[in-house]
Structures are given as C-alpha cells and as structure tokens.
Amino acid sequence: MQRIEFDDILFIEGMKEYLGIQTRTERVVVLQNFAGIQKSLPEENFFRVHKSFIVAVNKVSRVERNQIFVGSYVIPLSDTYKAGFMMFVAGK
C-alpha cells in the first residue's frame, strides 16, 4: 500500500487492467480501472484527455494540436475529449 498525494500526480495512463500513475518523482503501477480512479480524483483538478490518459490540469505547460505537454512528457489529446478539455481549461 502506498499513499500518493493528488498534488504529486502529473498524469495517469491506462494499461489494460492496470494504471500507471506518474508522479513528480516516480511511476506507480496499480491494479485499478479508469472508472474507479476517476471517481476518487477531484474533478476540478483532473481531466480525461484520451481513452488511456487522465492529466492533472494544473501541471499542463502547453497544448499543441493534439498533444498536451506535462513537464517532459507528451500526452495525446484525442478528438473525442479535445473540445471538453479546452472548455475546461478555459474556465479555470
């Protein structure tokens, strides 16, 4: 069991029945699905941007076309979630 603070999370990547939680210092792999983790995350700080990715909105440095930059990581932004994400970010 490992405690991860919400503020430390950069993004979450789905990997079949596992999730990779990327923090500032490490990557933690957990047995959980997207639906379960989305219920536990604060909605005002996290947004699903792809079928396999949730990002911490306050960690996004820039968005270019269909890519989101979080530190040195590049996260895909799918067309399905793009309009909702851009509206969400504009409202912050």
Task: Considering only CA atoms, give the Rg of the chain.
Answer: 12
The pTM of the full predicted model, rounded to 2 decimals, is 0.93
Q: Could you tell me the pLDDT band of residue 91, with boundaries at 50, 70 and 90?
A: confident
Query: pLDDT value at position 24?
Result: 92
CA–CA dist 10, 24 (Å, integer): 7
Query: pLDDT value at position 23?
Result: 97
| pLDDT tens per residue across span 62-80 | 999 999 999 999 999 999 9
Query: pLDDT value at position 9?
Result: 98
| pLDDT tens per residue across span 12-36 | 999 988 999 999 999 999 999 888 8
Domains of the chain, start order: 6-90 (2.40.50.1020)
